[in-house]
Amino acid sequence: MIVRSSVPGLRGRTAEAPPGPELSGPQRVGEIGRVDTTEQLAKFHVPEIVFGPGALAELGHCARRLGARRPFVVTDLGLTEAGWAAEATAHLRLAGLSAVVWDGVTPNPKDHEVEAAFQRYAESGSDVIIGVGGGSVIDAAKGVAILSGNGGRILDYEGVDKVVHPIPPLVMAPSTSGTGADVSQFAIITDTAAASKITILSRALVPDISLIDPRLLITMPDWLNAATGLDALTHAIESFVSRAHNTLTEQHSLHAAHLITRNLARTMFRPTEEEPRTAMAQGALEAGMAFTNAILGATHAMSHQVGGLLDAPHGVINGVLLPHVIRFNAEAGAERYVPLAAAIGIETAGVPAMEVAHELADRVRELADVVGVPKGLSSLGVTEADIPLLARNTLKDACLTTNPRDASVEDIERLFRAAL
């Protein structure tokens, strides 16, 4: 079997980020609101990236470079019906490769789906694993790779750096503009017995190659376009204020926020227009590159629990929760949100930082309104009775550790109630 090393380190090449907007406010910050004058080591780990319309045509060449003889394509029924799975396998055939296709993934990939996909992978004698689809497909593909190299059950790998043995090469072609799974070290899997999501975090899960073709975004339904776009915006904002941010992630976070806030609504109302689709693909990419290195915060830690309980769209939940989390974090130091506000066009000169942070939260909510995201979690099915369990599970989520403000179970409960 072909494997790649899980030893941490830079592999492949990075994509250059275009210049971001003019920014004001602190650029080197440690804990939220505190300027850090010490030298720090910075980590930045991303795949090789092929970006632009037509990038999917490179799939066969990329798979062969990784040593593929019998690639395993993970996708879903929606991508099959849209024709993208067929196009992907056609490109593989042109490179002399006969693929095995698995399209049994559903939104919020389930533990049993990952394990069924792995069984098919093992039986077929496949090697390189290819994900063609959104975050659910890509996370499922990563799950197959984990089990191939490490065995056991997928739920055994919850937490940080539990994937200790090499895994097969990974090539990802995202079909949504938001999850960042194609460049990240995360896999999010639903534990169906516990009705919650687990977070698997390992640098071994950063794919070898990401093929980002904005053409694939055109077939997204509106609700998924809105959800993944708000997910990407959440990545940009949470990675910028994360305790683990560094100088190599900051500009990607800021430029992603700039691109997403200016283009998400345009893609909703003019879905076939190339410029905003390409901008959203780039915004999602930059947000993904930022958060895989800086990690996230309370919004994601909370959202994972709601998604696991109700099988609700992750990005929609983020869109509801993010304004509340911004206001909560700003109470411990609003200054960190000032560059983000400037990046999306909010006037910050001479305005108190707390006021700027609240304006940023309001702008996020306004964008969520424009793209049709509900105002409260209750409309998704969350009840007051669910809050204690959701809050307890949030405290276990790895994303909470890098939130810029410490949060107790009581704090999380208050946030959930505010978001109902």
Would you say 2 and 65 are in contact if contact means Cβ atoms under 8 Å apart?
no
Handedness of CA 20, 22, 28, 33 (dihedral sign): negative
Q: How far apart are CA 144 and CA 65, in angstroms?
A: 21
Would you say 382 and 390 are in contact if contact means Cβ atoms under 8 Å apart?
yes
Name the burial class of residue 22, with classes exposed (0-12), middle (13-18) and buried (19+) by CB atoms within 10 angstroms of its CB. exposed
pLDDT-derived band at 43, boundaries 50, 70, 90: confident
Q: What is the pLDDT of residues 328-344, one digit of tens each?
A: 999 999 999 999 999 99
Q: How far apart are the two ends of the chain, measured CA to CA in Å?
A: 49
pLDDT-derived band at 42, boundaries 50, 70, 90: confident
Would you say 114 and 80 are in contact if contact means Cβ atoms under 8 Å apart?
no
Phi/psi region, residue 84 (left: phi>0; alpha: psi -120 to 50; beta: rest), is: alpha
Q: Look up tokens 């492949």; give the residue.
A: 12
Class of 221-419 per CATH?
mainly alpha
Q: What is the dihedral of CA 244, 318, 226, 75, to 10 degrees?
A: 70
78 token code pair: 């929606």
48-215 and 221-419 in the same fold? no
Would you say 403 and 245 are in contact if contact means Cβ atoms under 8 Å apart?
no
Q: Look up tokens 């890098």; give the residue.
A: 402
Neighbours of 38 (CB within 10 A): 6
Q: What is the pLDDT of residues 375-396, one digit of tens each?
A: 999 999 999 999 999 999 999 9
Class of 48-215 per CATH?
alpha beta
Q: Is residue 90's pLDDT more than 90?
A: yes
Q: Is residue 3's pLDDT more than 90?
A: no
Q: How far apart are CA 188 and CA 314, in angstroms?
A: 11
> Edge-to-edge strand order for the sheet containing 72-74?
48-51, 209-212, 170-174, 129-133, 72-74, 100-102
Which residues, 6+ apart, have CB-to-CB distance to 193 below 8 Å? Answer: none
pLDDT-derived band at 26, boundaries 50, 70, 90: very low
For 170-183, the three-class secondary structure string (H helix, E strand, C coil) is EEEEECCCCCCCCC
22 token code pair: 């003019």
Domain ranges of the chain: 48-215, 221-419
Amino acid 8: pLDDT: 29
The percentage of residues in the chain with a pLDDT greater than 90, rounded to a whole number, is: 89
Over residues 66-84, the mean pLDDT reads 97
Name the burial class of residue 265, with classes exposed (0-12), middle (13-18) and buried (19+) by CB atoms within 10 angstroms of its CB. middle
Task: Report the chain's mean pLDDT, rounded to a whole number.
Answer: 91
Neighbours of 223 (CB within 10 A): 14
Q: Which of 9-18, 179-188, 338-347, 398-407 is the least confident region?
A: 9-18
